[in-house]
């Protein structure tokens, strides 16, 4: 049985690895654009999820992703059989 | 001189060379299009455009993310004299609203009759189309791939002064300016780049590019110039590079690339991301040219890149600093081939006080040598009144020759102000620099533009957003850049009476990030009256920046905290951070 995917925790880890940024307060509702990361770092962060989970978020969906929850929803659509942490 | 369309027309039968699109057939599968096929694909698109009623001189907006669809759509428009208006697709995270606003503003200036986009992006763009009255048709790049009915059109003939396409500079502004590239300026600049600058040999050279195709360096340097001279190019999607910077070097290794171009930030990013075992595996020894342009060049970034990639065979002389801008069609100057990175060390005090670049071995400022201009073109340094300045005097960089674009689209005032539109006139670049024996050194910027990761932003737009925050004193926000290791970094200065400075800083960082996807490196908050103003009370952006870089901003302001912050800024600028557009370095540690 696979562990549920915790997108918020993964996001914190990705921000640390990609941008050396600690985000202890991060929540599913957090607007990604308010974190102060530049657009290159944000795309590297998306790539972190894609590699870890072996998915590819369609390019044109990216412009609609605003919150961590939006990112989780986009990944959930690609992995309908996996469990996700609330 | 032969233009791009005539050159493409002459590609019939050229099967050996062409364009390769990494992943163009699906993950891991490259699409190869020979120049012979490319000519056919362009003619098919042209036939579709004609059957839809589009005619010579009509503008066509292109918002197509995939290179394998964008390039034939662009060339097909050129083929029959339509005027393509390439625009960036909405590919950054959560930025749809800002993207749409910029798209509508630009296209209502360009007034295209048609918009070509991919079916998937088209779904996103629909709501914007209704706000652009000139658009009669939305065509998908998929529809253009169908075999057209009827005969394929012959290539149009062009006079040199005829418009080839419009290049809107990146970044959003209230009144966007579209640079008018003519068939003549395009051919002249492509020749300067390929023949004079690169001495490229179609039999031997292979270019590798992840640059966006809607942007001058990617579009002219790595699509149109290669078409004109039949040079093979390998394209990597921009997003693939941004998501994983090492894919750039992987493509060079795999396709035995000999030339590539990128902004400074890309060299910093790939140096940071490449792992030693990857570098050990790659063979990059056939690379003749690692061109660096589109934003200020940080010599430390370039040295670090060569050092890190030396085990893969990267040679110091492969670095090719270059300088250019859309108003010059693209390129203005190149460093000579086979020359390593050269910099000029000058005296900082004389630079700031007398505008002189006095050589000082071990001097405080290090300025990158950006080489010479091309045959048939000229460079000069001029003062505010247009007088020519001698060597090692700092002034505005001016450029003359057949590469200078015709002007800004339907904007005679801006065209005249920039020195375009008159044969033999000097283009005023808005950049500051000096010449030494014909070699250009760029040391600063006169125009108010922020350049981050190769994109231009207007400081006013950022300042408006900061000014809207309730606790910021109205009209007090000043935004400028300081040099950073990878690219320029955004600094915000503003006046406030707010007690909770940390919260206000966080709010400013968040607002700029939301609106522009830009990271703010520093926020300097000062009490009312602390920012430098003219006698009429207007904020002085350049003076604010100068004071900030010298650590003198708001010195007479608030007590301990402000001073500590200022000291920290200064310390940062001392530790290997470049001043004046990342070209110039402080070395005197502890000189505060």
Indicate whether B86 pLDDT > 80: yes
DSSP labels for B177-200? Answer: -EEEEEHHHHHHHHHIIIIIIT--
* Residue B102: band (very low, low, confident or very high) from pLDDT cuts 50, 70, 90: confident
What pLDDT is recorded for position B464? 85
Options 3.40.1390.10, 3.40.228.10, 2.30.38.10, 3.40.50.300; CATH of B341-445: 2.30.38.10
- Cβ within 8 Å, pair B124-A63: yes
* Residue B556: band (very low, low, confident or very high) from pLDDT cuts 50, 70, 90: very low
CATH of domain A7-78: 1.10.1200.10
Q: Which of A14, A23, A43, A66 to mutate against chain B (most B CBs within 10 Å)?
A: A43
Q: Which of B26, B93, B244, B275 to mutate against chain A (most A CBs within 10 Å)?
A: B93
- Cβ within 8 Å, pair B519-A41: yes
> CA dihedral defined by A27, A28, A34, A38, rounded to 10 degrees?
110
Q: What are phi and psi of B442, to 5 degrees?
A: -100, 125
Q: Which of residues 207-246 of B touch A (CB under 8 A)?
A: 239, 242-244
- By mean pLDDT, which of A3-17, B182-196, B435-449 is the weakest? B435-449
B17-20: long-range contacts at Cβ-Cβ below 8 A with a sequence spacing of 24 or more?
Answer: B17/B202, B17/B230, B17/B231, B17/B232, B18/B232, B19/B67, B19/B71, B19/B226, B19/B232, B19/B233, B19/B234, B19/B235, B20/B232, B20/B233, B20/B234, B20/B235, B20/B255
Let me know if domain B450-585 sits in CATH 3.30.300.30: yes
Q: Considering CB atoms only, which of A38, A50, A70 is closest to B517?
A: A38
In terms of C-beta density within 10 A (0-12 exposed, 13-18 middle, 19 or more buried), how is residue B109 classed?
middle
> What class has domain B4-17+31-186+209-232?
alpha beta
What pLDDT is recorded for position B362? 80
B453 CB neighbours in chain A (<8 A) are 38-40
CA dist B251 → B21, B88, B486 (Å): 11, 23, 22
Domain segments of chain B as ranges: 4-17+31-186+209-232, 341-445, 450-585
- Cβ within 8 Å, pair B513-A70: no
Residue B93 near chain A (CB below 8 Å): yes
Indicate whether B486 pLDDT > 60: yes
A54 CB neighbours in chain B (<8 A) are none
What percent of chain A has a predicted confidence (pLDDT) above 70? 99
Domain segments of chain A as ranges: 7-78
- Residue in B440, B424, B61, B435 with CA at minimum distance from that of residue B214: B61
Mean pLDDT of B176-180: 93
> How many H helices and E strands in chain B?
20, 28
What pLDDT is recorded for position B484? 82
Give the residue, B558 or B56, on which the prediction is more confident: B56
Indicate whether B472 pLDDT > 70: yes
Q: d(Cα B127, Cα B123) in Å, to the nearest integer?
A: 9
- Cβ within 8 Å, pair B510-A41: no
- Residue in B344, B355, B395, B353 with CA at minimum distance from that of residue B583: B344
- Cβ within 8 Å, pair B269-A40: yes
- Cβ within 8 Å, pair B94-A64: yes
Radius of gyration of chain A (CA): 12
CA dist B566 → B126, B490, B499, B548 (Å): 48, 16, 18, 8
A70 CB neighbours in chain B (<8 A) are 94
B457 CB neighbours in chain A (<8 A) are none
């Amino acid at each position: 049985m696979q562990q549920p995917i915790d997108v918020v925790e993964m996001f914190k880890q990705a921000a640390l690895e990609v941008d050396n940024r600690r985000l202890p307060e991060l929540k599913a509702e957090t607007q990604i654009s308010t974190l102060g990361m530049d657009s290159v770092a944000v795309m590297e962060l998306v790539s972190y999820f894609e590699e870890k989970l072996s998915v590819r978020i369609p390019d044109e969906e990216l412009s609609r992703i605003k919150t961590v929850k939006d990112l989780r929803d986009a990944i959930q659509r690609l992995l309908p059989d996996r469990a996700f942490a609330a | 001189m032969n233009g791009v369309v005539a050159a493409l027309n002459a590609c019939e039968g050229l099967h050996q060379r062409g364009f390769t699109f990494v992943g163009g057939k699906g993950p891991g599968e490259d699409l190869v299009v020979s120049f012979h096929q490319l000519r056919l694909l362009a003619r098919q698109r042209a036939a579709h455009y004609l059957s839809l009623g589009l005619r010579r001189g009509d503008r066509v907006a292109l918002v197509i993310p995939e290179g394998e669809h964008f390039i034939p759509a662009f060339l097909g428009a050129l083929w029959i004299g339509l005027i393509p208006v390439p625009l960036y697709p909405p590919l950054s995270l959560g930025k749809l609203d800002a993207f749409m606003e910029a798209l509508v503003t630009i296209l209502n200036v360009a007034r295209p009759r048609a918009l070509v986009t991919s079916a998937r992006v088209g779904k996103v763009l629909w709501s914007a189309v209704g706000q652009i009255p000139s658009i009669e048709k939305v065509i998908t790049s998929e529809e253009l791939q169908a075999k057209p009915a009827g005969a394929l059109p012959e290539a149009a003939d062009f006079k040199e002064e005829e418009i080839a396409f419009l290049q809107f500079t990146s970044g959003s502004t209230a009144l966007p300016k579209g640079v008018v590239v003519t068939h003549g300026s395009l051919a002249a600049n492509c020749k300067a780049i390929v023949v004079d600058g690169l001495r490229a040999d179609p039999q031997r050279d292979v270019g590798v590019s992840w640059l966006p195709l809607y942007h001058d360096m990617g579009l002219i340097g790595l699509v149109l110039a290669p078409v004109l001279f039949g040079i093979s190019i390998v394209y990597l999607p921009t997003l693939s590079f941004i998501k994983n910077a090492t894919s750039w070097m992987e493509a060079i290794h795999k396709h035995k690339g000999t030339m590539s171009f990128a902004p400074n930030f890309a060299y910093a990013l790939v140096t940071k991301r490449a792992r030693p075992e990857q570098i050990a595996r790659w063979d990059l020894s056939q690379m003749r040219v690692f061109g660096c342009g589109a934003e200020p060049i940080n010599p430390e970034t370039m040295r670090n890149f060569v050092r890190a990639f030396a085990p893969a065979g990267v040679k110091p002389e492969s670095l090719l600093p270059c300088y250019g801008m859309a108003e010059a069609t693209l390129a203005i100057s190149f460093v000579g081939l086979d020359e390593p990175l050269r910099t000029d060390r000058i005296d900082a005090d004389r630079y700031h006080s007398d505008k002189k670049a006095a050589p000082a071995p071990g001097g405080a400022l290090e300025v990158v040598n950006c080489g010479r201009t091309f045959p048939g073109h000229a460079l000069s340094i001029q003062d505010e009144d247009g007088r020519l300045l001698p060597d090692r005097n700092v002034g505005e960089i001016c450029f003359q020759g057949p590469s200078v674009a015709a002007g800004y689209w339907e904007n005679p005032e801006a065209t005249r102000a920039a020195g375009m539109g008159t044969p033999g006139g000097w283009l005023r670049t808005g950049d500051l620099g000096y010449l030494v024996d014909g070699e250009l050194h760029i040391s600063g910027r006169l125009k108010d533009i922020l350049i981050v990761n190769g994109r231009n932003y207007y400081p006013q737009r950022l300042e408006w957003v900061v000014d809207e925050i309730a606790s910021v004193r109205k009209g007090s926000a000043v935004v400028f850049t300081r040099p950073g290791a990878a690219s320029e970094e955004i600094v915000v200065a503003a006046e406030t009476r707010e007690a909770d400075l940390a919260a206000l800083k966080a709010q400013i960082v968040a607002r700029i990030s939301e609106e522009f996807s830009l990271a703010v490196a520093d926020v300097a908050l000062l009490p009312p009256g602390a920012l430098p103003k003219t006698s009429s009370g207007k904020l002085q952006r350049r003076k604010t920046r100068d004071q900030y870089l010298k650590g003198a901003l708001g010195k007479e302001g608030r007590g301990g905290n402000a001073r500590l912050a200022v000291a920290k800024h200064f310390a940062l600028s001392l530790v290997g951070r470049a001043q004046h557009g990342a070209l110039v370095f402080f070395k005197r540690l502890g000189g505060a």
